[in-house]
Amino acid sequence: MEIYQPEEDSYLLSEVLKKQIPKLSKKNLNLKVLEIGCGSGIQLTTMLSLGVKNITACDINPKAIKHCKSLGFKCINSNLFSKIKGRFDLIIFNPPYLPFHKFDNEKNTTGGKKGSEIINNFLTQAHKHLKDKGKIFLLLSNLTKAVDFKGYNKKIISKKKLFFEELYISELKWLTKQEDS
């Protein structure tokens, strides 16, 4: 598997981080951030340029991990949260979100039959790694079907219309009190 290179989705998430991180940093100077699926490291680099120092990253792709480590980031091999410990103020994820299609079935873009299988697995685990009042920035497409936001408050904070789809970033907050993990 090759490293996922930045496309429109990556650039949209980077722009959101440039707007949102300063707001979050004003409230919390020691913002603790986790990126699931760090790929090329574009979001890590964006966050570092915004002054975020407490960044953890993971990816399932060993090539992406090696690359992000070469950029100086703490990056571990993990399938979603399988090797992640602790809680975070912010979790970001640009997941594989496209439904399986015979012409597009790459692991770094296809999120399952409906496009939401990996996302739903992420959502069932993510709240256990959020601090109280923590947030998730999740990138999705209007092509992604059957995302289960049960337990989360969802607010769309950015959209981008492309010729074949619309991308959007949701800010998610867990609605119930954190349980011990």
Number of domains in the chain: 1
Closest alpha carbon to 35 in 137, 180, 106:
137
pLDDT of residue 109: 56
pLDDT in the model for residue 181: 42
pLDDT at 176: 74
pLDDT at 102: 45
Q: Is residue 16 part of a domain?
A: no
In the prediction, which pLDDT does 28 show?
A: 82
In Å, how far are 53, 63, 84, 141 from 116, measured between CA atoms? 31, 24, 21, 10
Q: Is residue 31 part of a domain?
A: no
Considering the domain boundaries, does residue 137 fall inside one? yes
Is pTM beyond 0.85? Reply is: yes
Evaluate whether residue 111 is within a structural domain. yes
pLDDT of residue 27: 83
| Contact present, 22 and 16 (Cβ < 8 Å) | no
CA-closest candidate to residue 74, choices 98, 50, 53, 95: 53
Identify residue 24 by its one-letter amino acid code: L
Distance of CA 118 to the CA centre of its chain: 12
Q: Which domain holds residue 149?
A: 86-181
Kindly give the pairing relationship between strand 88-93 and strand 32-36.
parallel
CATH number at residue 127: 3.40.50.150
* Paired tokens of 83: 């090797």
- Would residue 144 count as lying in a domain? yes
Q: Is residue 172 part of a domain?
A: yes
Asked whether residue 42 is domain-assigned, the answer is no
Residues of the chain short of pLDDT 70, as ranges, are 1, 98-115, 177-181
**In a domain? residue 18:** no
- In tens, the pLDDT along 34-56 reads 999 999 999 999 999 999 999 99
